[in-house]
Amino acid sequence: MPGLRKQIFLGTFISSKSRQELQYLHDAAVCVDSHGKIVKVDVDCTSAELIDDRLLNKLGWEKSEVDVHVAKPGQFFFPGFIDSHVHAPQYPNVGIFGKTTLLDWLEKYTFPLESSLKDLAKARRVYTACIRRTLANGTTTAAYYATIDVDATNLLADLCLSLGQRALVGRVCMDNQDICLDYYRDESAEASLEKTLQTIQHVRDIDPSFELVSPILTPRFAPSCTSESMRGLAKIQRDMDLPVQTHISENKGEIALVAKMYPESSSYAAVYDDHGLLTPRTILAHAVHISEDEARLIAKRKSKVAHCPCSNSVLTSGAARVRWMWDRDITVGLGTDMGAGYSPSILEAARQTALVSRHVAMGIDEADPEHERSKLTIEEALYLGTRGGAAVVGLEGRVGGFEEGMEWDVQLIGLGDVNEEGFPADIDVDGGNVDMFGWESWEERIAKWVYNGDDRNTKKVWVKGRLVHSRR
Amino acid sequence: MPGLRKQIFLGTFISSKSRQELQYLHDAAVCVDSHGKIVKVDVDCTSAELIDDRLLNKLGWEKSEVDVHVAKPGQFFFPGFIDSHVHAPQYPNVGIFGKTTLLDWLEKYTFPLESSLKDLAKARRVYTACIRRTLANGTTTAAYYATIDVDATNLLADLCLSLGQRALVGRVCMDNQDICLDYYRDESAEASLEKTLQTIQHVRDIDPSFELVSPILTPRFAPSCTSESMRGLAKIQRDMDLPVQTHISENKGEIALVAKMYPESSSYAAVYDDHGLLTPRTILAHAVHISEDEARLIAKRKSKVAHCPCSNSVLTSGAARVRWMWDRDITVGLGTDMGAGYSPSILEAARQTALVSRHVAMGIDEADPEHERSKLTIEEALYLGTRGGAAVVGLEGRVGGFEEGMEWDVQLIGLGDVNEEGFPADIDVDGGNVDMFGWESWEERIAKWVYNGDDRNTKKVWVKGRLVHSRR
């Protein structure tokens, strides 16, 4: 990524201090070097003069080599969102699921579309739309499932790199001849592993140190794989130290199927563990119905969970228990899980996380303290979408906040202001459905953004210092 | 409403044929007279020539007195949404609720804001923003709660009339000195009734036959009223044949409070019935926890229910059982219930209706047929937001569809098209988050609109034939 100018960002910076608390830095400056790295965070920077006098001197930077970005009043910088579970090829199907649940949804809607993306022109169209749309919604990193097709998967990696989205890109392994449909499966375990290696090599060719795009090993889920392919992927994982992603315990029918297929394993989580796939770099999507034993095993292996509330609700899969998983030391992030999840937005996932947590609470007696504890706050939902997700995809400490040494994966948020007559203060700017009256505290501004915000409020998006999306 | 020109609308018209089914009229013409009434629906109108030759002759209209509106390819006309439960003064608080539930939320967030709107400049600002925002989201009719203040309530009625939104506007009655806070309550039952009559008279002055704006009697909920004020309102209802709106069985703490306050009544619903307020013109918001007996009583009295899924989820009130109420012959519509409900959009309420129905299903064993039956389809959710809501607010047969004799309360919907490269086909039009690839069926177009649509897809809104909102 050559040729980036040095940048200084001035204004309000909001990020998660902890799960429970947001940190508000007002009148602050964040200085980003030509590699997109945050090299200095300075508070109490109220004017451009201060920068001339103090910051530039401290940094040893010349004024001529620096671009200064000043947030407008009311705007704020916020860490880019991490989508820790998303199927790029399913993007055109968002919202289309009827009354299906997981297994019939896969056969009716998902496999036909995924299979059709071996047509590379179609794949380019769908993947471009998906990346652009998620970037516009503030997603700076995505853990993508592609399809079984090597060329189309490689194309997805190319497009992430050229459009500037940080991504983990996985060719989907599904080689179980008894379960997978004839028209959409790998020929054999051997072929599955060979094709996986081809994609890994391709990513290494285009981004040698996996700076922006990384391969990720992607056994679709236990039913669609053979023991042989899972063991082979686990070996690749150990040899190359790569991340892994798969699904777990989304739906009761799926769980019963896994129990029937793998009677020798003591649980769904144990199936992955018995095949060497439960690693600290493993992302498990859903985990809606996992048992105490499974939670203990997942925590012990330091595997991570991608919570996908939109998907879990529309497919009637269940209501995942985030607090319960946190209590058991499991690291959790958010996933849109498009196309079962209907929305490209992690902000929507955060909103639905708060709502689903209340449905979890409704299932617990009000006298039980767990009732109240189950409810997640806005702060907690935003933590899941930023720092939580960063930890899930292995980028903890690199993205998700504004600390020195982190990379500038950030969105600039602007909300709509209402003038004294009740009309939009600036008719040239679409502030979306968020109407600020001016008396709101910063905490209330955040609450109104989380509950009514959309991509119109994401004014600019940067990844590794590079501006990858902007709008009025 | 003088001076409207005759209008002919050409294109695709989609509306609810029944709860289960949408009707798609393609290449159709809908003719609207100068009173905003649909006088002719003609299918098979593929060109402007056809209108010249046939329609105008049939109608006896001169070409010069008619405006013709042609929907662009892919666009469609859809009935305006009915918001059957919304608190206009709470609009600035959308999304602000923390971890509160009903009773503490009222005291912490709601009453201070409502009370402050006795400042008429503030009321004008808030109400204007609320009406504009709901119109922009396609809400052509709203059943509004205002505040206890007569002047501010009358102002809300004035603004609905001038901005062109069909509305039921209620001054809130809350005269129970034991429950209501000193700073925000009516002085006495007598004062409460007198002020209610003042608002009724005001609406009669500005819209004598309640063509666009109607008063609605509004005992806030049983706890905040005295028996005397409720009986007085019931008498006004009978004398003037006016609609009534109140809340019922939203939250368990509230239900316990009502049981304690009205030990002589056999249930919460019975409290209203015993005071003469359970009428065919009564809108009951929420009804989350009503019993079989209460459902039977509500159905017998032909009272209606406003389902408010966003609000019920965020306040952890519960998951209302729409299918269960339908099975018991209760008429149901949708409400945003702002500001507990976080969204101004009935499309969002429809989306959440589908999701909440799946959480209802999750609470029922999968082997029980009621599990599957509980899940509401997109068609059913849209029915609730249009024809269902129309029946709830007493406008059945007048709005909510495209039949001859109905009034033209309609929105024009346009979705975003993706070009062959995966970019927006028209960069001058913001199609929102709905990306159409061109291969979708009409049913899939509707699904994608319901799940990702927002006000950007509502291109124009008419009420009673008058264009009240438009955007690119």
Report the CATH number at residue B311: 3.20.20.140
- Classified as helix, coil or strand, A313 is helix
Domain identity same for B64 and B152: no
Q: How far is B93 from chain A (nearest CA, A)?
A: 8
Residue A1 lies in a domain: no
What does the block give as tokens for B436?
A: 């159409």
Residues in chain B: 472
Above 60 in pLDDT, residue A86?
Answer: yes
Above 60 in pLDDT, residue A103?
Answer: yes
Provide, as residue numbers in chain B, all residues whose Cβ is less than 8 Å from the Cβ of A127: 422
Choose, out of A158, A342, A376, A420, the residue to mutate when testing the contact with B (most B CBs < 10 Å). Answer: A342
Average pLDDT over residues A12-30: 97
Domain identity same for B449 and B424: yes
Average pLDDT over residues A400-426: 96
Q: Which residues pair with A143 in a beta bridge?
A: A168
* Percent of chain A whose predicted confidence (pLDDT) is above 90: 92
Domain identity same for A34 and A105: no
Nearest to A313 by CA among A347, A341, A351, A332: A341
Q: In this predicted structure, what is the pLDDT of residue A424?
A: 93
Ranges of chain B whose pLDDT falls below 70:
1-2, 47-51
Domain identity same for B326 and B460: no
Residues in chain A: 472
Q: From CA A98, how far away is CA A117, in angstroms rounded? A: 22
Q: In this predicted structure, what is the pLDDT of residue A176?
A: 97
CB contact under 8 A, A344 and B452: yes
DSSP designation for A376: P
CB contact under 8 A, B316 and A375: yes
Domain identity same for B225 and B260: yes
Q: Is A252 on the interface with B (CB under 8 A)?
A: yes
Cβ atoms of B413 and B457 closer than 8 Å: yes
Full domain range(s) for residue B197 = 81-392
* Percent of chain B whose predicted confidence (pLDDT) is above 90: 93
Cβ atoms of B456 and B448 closer than 8 Å: no
Q: In this predicted structure, what is the pLDDT of residue B100?
A: 87
Q: Is B372 on the interface with A (CB under 8 A)?
A: yes
Q: From CA B261, how far away is CA B256, in angstroms rounded? A: 9
Above 60 in pLDDT, residue A1?
Answer: no
Residue A455 lies in a domain: yes
Domain identity same for B73 and B85: no
Q: From CA B197, how far away is CA B200, in angstroms rounded? A: 5
Nearest to A71 by CA among A165, A16, A8: A8
DSSP designation for B106: I
Domain identity same for A168 and A305: yes
Residue B293 lies in a domain: yes
Nearest to A344 by CA among A14, A116, A81, A119: A81
Helix (H) or strand (E) holding B448: helix B442-452
Contacts of A308 (CB under 8 A, 6+ apart): A85, A285, A286, A320, A334, A335, A336, A337, A340, A341, A349
What does the block give as tokens for A20?
A: 């429970």
Nearest to B346 by CA among B260, B441, B244, B458: B458
Domain boundary (A326, A361, A392) is at A392
Residue A397 lies in a domain: no
Domain boundary (B354, B372, B392) is at B392
Cβ-nearest to A96 among B314, B319, B444: B444
At residue A319, φ and ψ (nearest 5 deg) are: -115, 105
Domain identity same for B294 and B431: no
What does the block give as tokens for A2?
A: 């050559």
Domain identity same for A137 and A195: yes
Q: Binning pLDDT at 50, 70 and 90, where does residue A49 land?
A: low
Structure confidence by residue, pLDDT tens digits, A298-316: 999 999 999 999 999 999 9
Residue A285 lies in a domain: yes
HSE (side-chain half, CA atoms, 13 Å) at B96: 22
Above 70 in pLDDT, residue A50?
Answer: no
Q: Is B98 on the interface with A (CB under 8 A)?
A: yes
Q: From CA B131, how far away is CA B123, in angstroms rounded? A: 12
Highest mean pLDDT (candidates A52-61, A328-337, A429-438): A328-337
Provide, as residue numbers in chain B, all residues whose Cβ is less than 8 Å from the Cβ of A448: 94-96
Cβ atoms of A6 and A65 closer than 8 Å: yes
Q: How far is B404 from chain A (nearest CA, A)?
A: 31
Choose, out of A102, A435, A436, A439, the residue to mutate when testing the contact with B (most B CBs < 10 Å). Answer: A435
Q: Is A180 on the interface with B (CB under 8 A)?
A: no
- Residues 266 through 325 of chain B touching chain A, CB cutoff 8 Å: 313-314, 316, 318-319
Domain identity same for A161 and A214: yes
Choose, out of A316, A346, A351, the residue to mutate when testing the contact with B (most B CBs < 10 Å). Answer: A316
- Classified as helix, coil or strand, B369 is helix
- Residues 76 through 95 of chain A touching chain B, CB cutoff 8 Å: 91-92, 94-95
Residue B1 lies in a domain: no
Choose, out of A126, A159, A364, A418, the residue to mutate when testing the contact with B (most B CBs < 10 Å). Answer: A418
Cβ atoms of A233 and A173 closer than 8 Å: yes
- Classified as helix, coil or strand, B40 is strand
Domain identity same for A422 and A309: no
Q: What is the mean pLDDT of chain A?
A: 96
Cβ-nearest to A362 among B133, B318, B361: B318
Domain identity same for B341 and B419: no
Above 60 in pLDDT, residue A2?
Answer: no
CB contact under 8 A, B355 and A422: no
Give the pairing of strands A458-463 and B410-413: unpaired
Q: From CA B409, how far away is CA B450, in angstroms rounded? A: 19
Q: Is the ipTM of this complex over 0.90?
A: yes
Domain boundary (B327, B358, B392) is at B392
Q: How far is B91 from chain A (nearest CA, A)?
A: 9
Q: Is B108 on the interface with A (CB under 8 A)?
A: no
Counting the structural domains of chain A, the total is 2
Nearest to B175 by CA among B162, B186, B166: B186
Domain with A462 in it: what CATH number?
2.30.40.10
Cβ atoms of A15 and A401 closer than 8 Å: yes
Q: In this predicted structure, what is the pLDDT of residue B451?
A: 97
Cβ atoms of B79 and B409 closer than 8 Å: yes
Cβ-nearest to A133 among B133, B377, B433: B433
Residue A35 lies in a domain: yes
Residue A137 lies in a domain: yes
Cβ atoms of A409 and B114 closer than 8 Å: no
CB contact under 8 A, B128 and A422: yes
Q: How far is A40 from chain B (nearest CA, A)?
A: 34
Q: Is A377 on the interface with B (CB under 8 A)?
A: yes
